Amino acid sequence: MVRQHPCLHEICNLKIQNAGLPAIRILGRHLKPTTQFAQLFGPMATKRVLRLEWDDLRDLAKVGEIRLKKRLANGFYLVNSQEFFWGFSLVKEGERLISYLSKQMKSALLS
C-alpha cells in the first residue's frame, strides 16, 4: 500500500529519527504518560485509574489541585470521568491531586 503511493518520492530522502505515538515524557523526577497515550490506552487500564466526579474534575482543571476524599499511593493516575479518559494527574502526600492535564483538556473541561 505505501510502496505504491504517488507521493512516496517526496519523502524518500527524509531522515526519520522517530515514528509512532509518544507515550512517556520526563518531568523532573517523574515519568509522565502523555495525554494521547491516556486516551488511546485508558480503556484498557486496570491499575492507577482515578474516577472523579464531574465537579471535582472541573475544579482540578480550574484550580490545578484538589484534595482527595481518600488516601492513595503517590504517583501518576489516569483521570477518568463520564466514561472519558482526560489525561494524567499526580498524587502527592497521598491526598493532593495535582493536575497534569493538557491545555486542550483543561479548555474542553472549562468551556
Relative to beta strand 65-67, strand 24-27 is unpaired
Looking at the domain assignment, is residue 15 inside a domain?
no
**Residue 56 domain-assigned (yes or no):** yes
Q: Assess if residue 7 is contained within a domain.
A: no
- Please indicate, yes or no, if residue 54 is contained in any of the structural domains: yes
Q: For the chain of 111 residues, list the mean pLDDT of each consecutive stretch of 10.
A: 68 74 83 85 92 96 96 94 91 96 92 89
Tell me what pLDDT residue 2 has: 58
Domain assignment present for residue 105? The answer is: yes
What pLDDT is attached to residue 49? 95
Residue 83, CB half-sphere, CA atoms under 13 Å: how many? Answer: 0
- Total count of domains within the chain: 1
What's at 39, amino acid-wise? Answer: Q
Query: Does 75 map to a domain?
Result: yes
Query: What pairing do the DSSP bridges indicate for beta strands 75-81 and 49-51?
Result: parallel
Q: What is the pLDDT of residue 1?
A: 46
pLDDT at 99: 96
Q: Is the residue at 82 inside a domain? A: yes
Query: What does the alpha-carbon distance between residue 60 and residue 109 come to, in Å, rounded to a whole number?
Result: 10
Domain that holds residue 76: 22-110
Residue 5 lies in a domain: no
Q: Distance between CA atoms of 21 and 1, rounded to whole angstroms?
A: 21
